[in-house]
Amino acid sequence: MSEGRRRSEKKEILSVKQTEIVGKSSLDAVVFTTPGEDCDVSGEKCCKSVLQEEAKPGGQRNTVEKIPEKQSKKSLFYEILRFLLVGGTATVFDYAVAYLFYHLILPPDRIGETLSLVLSTAFGFGVGLAVNWVLSVCFVFRNVKDKKKSRSGKAFVMFTLIGLIGLGLTEIGMHFGVSCLPEISLFGSATFLGISWTWWISKVAMTCIVLVWNYLGRKLFIFR
């Protein structure tokens, strides 16, 4: 069999297979180059490979975007547990700093009850907020659609804004709690670690309220 006849038969076979593949694809038009001198049997595989890579549903060549799976109840449960653990850690820092400022650094007998309460609460809340941000990004919210966006400067600003709203709620609650609650005596004492029980009770109550606000705010606006 002559060389020219063999090339002609290869072209016919390749043309038939290309037609079959094009019929199965959704491309409006596919252009093939005729195999040249260096395209023997492998030319058929090469053309088929190009077609398979470029023939996408709807005639689109872009890859299909991966749609994030809906968060399962189990995943949400563990996320809330991690949030509570991190919240507890941040609260320890919050309480420790607030206690140091209220009881030692800026006590009421030095700068007044109101100013001491406001400043100690603000410093404690600020430290707790910073700890919470770092641990929330690295540990708590794992099922996030866009991790890069959730760790951006804009996300931190939103995180801080949510924290400031929580701080406002805490300040208001602490002020009314300490001012309005009657003197409370527990375990035979009106104080605990040198601070009145009304302060501790107000602090714990506001911590629980702001904890719920922080989770919902961060989950809905940042770590979606």
Structure tokens belonging to residue 145: 């659609």
Question: How is residue 186 annotated by DSSP?
Answer: B
Residue 52 binned pLDDT confidence (cut-offs 50, 70, 90) = very low
Q: With 50 as the cut, is the pLDDT of residue 46 above it?
A: no
Instruction: Please state, for a pLDDT cut of 90, what percent of the chain lies above it.
Output: 8
| Domain annotation covers residue 67 | no
Q: Are residues 39 and 77 in the same domain?
A: no
66, part of any domain: no
- Digit-coded pLDDT (tens) for 91-149: 899 889 999 998 889 888 888 888 998 899 889 988 988 898 888 888 878 767 777 77
User: Considering the domain boundaries, does residue 64 fall inside one?
Assistant: no
User: Which carries the bigger pLDDT value, residue 175 or residue 55?
Assistant: 175
Q: Are residues 90 and 7 in the same domain?
A: no
Q: Residues 17, 43: contact at Cβ < 8 Å?
A: no
In a domain, 166, yes or no: yes
* Domain that includes residue 200, residue range: 73-221
In a domain, 78, yes or no: yes
Are residues 82 and 50 both part of a single domain? no
Number of domains in the chain: 2
Q: Which two tokens stand for residue 211?
A: 């904890």
> Last residue of some domain: 15, 31, 59?
59
From residue 32, how far is each of 14, 55, 69 by CA, in Å? 10, 13, 39
Residues 142, 87: Cα–Cα separation, whole Å: 16
Same-domain status, 201 and 129: yes
Lowest mean pLDDT among 38-52, 73-87, 89-103, 192-206: 38-52
When mean pLDDT is compared over 57-61, 172-176, 187-191, the highest value belongs to 172-176
Q: Which is more confidently placed, 27 or 224?
A: 224
Q: Which of 59, 82, 98 is the last residue of a domain?
A: 59
What is the residue-averaged pLDDT of the chain?
74
**Same structural domain for residues 84 and 121?**
yes
Both 36 and 143 in a single domain? no
137 and 217 share one domain: yes
How many alpha carbons fall within 13 Å on the CB side of residue 3? 2
In a domain, 197, yes or no: yes
Task: Evaluate whether 167 touches 118 at the Cβ level (below 8 Å).
Answer: no
pLDDT of residue 34: 47
Predicted pLDDT at 96:
93
Q: What is the pTM of this model?
A: 0.53
**Buried b / exposed e across 4-37, counting CB within 10 Å, b at 16+?**
eeeeeebeeebeeebeebeeeeebeeeeeeebee
Whether 142 and 221 have beta carbons less than 8 Å apart is answered as no
Quick one: pLDDT band at residue 14, thresholds 50, 70, 90?
Answer: very low
**Do 217 and 161 lie in a common domain?**
yes
Q: In angstroms, rounded to a whole number, what is the distance separating the alpha carbons of residues 185 and 191?
A: 7
- pLDDT of residue 158 exceeding 50: yes
> Residue 111 and residue 122: Cα distance in Å, rounded?
15
Phi, psi angle pair for 142, to nearest 5°? -95, -30
Residues 214, 107 within the same domain? yes
Note whether 11 and 92 are same-domain residues.
no
Nearest to 183 by CA among 199, 166, 164: 199
Residues 30 and 103 in one domain: no
Neighbours of 109 (CB within 10 A): 7
On whether residue 46 sits in a domain, the answer given is yes
Tokens 């800026």 belong to residue: 106
Q: How far is CA 8 from the centre of its chain?
A: 61
What DSSP character marks residue 31?
-
Indicate if 101 and 33 belong to the same structural domain: no
Residue 99 falls inside a structural domain: yes
The top-scoring range by mean pLDDT among 6-10, 61-65, 150-154 is 150-154
Q: How far is residue 69 from each of residues 57, 83, 93, measured CA to CA in Å?
A: 22, 21, 35
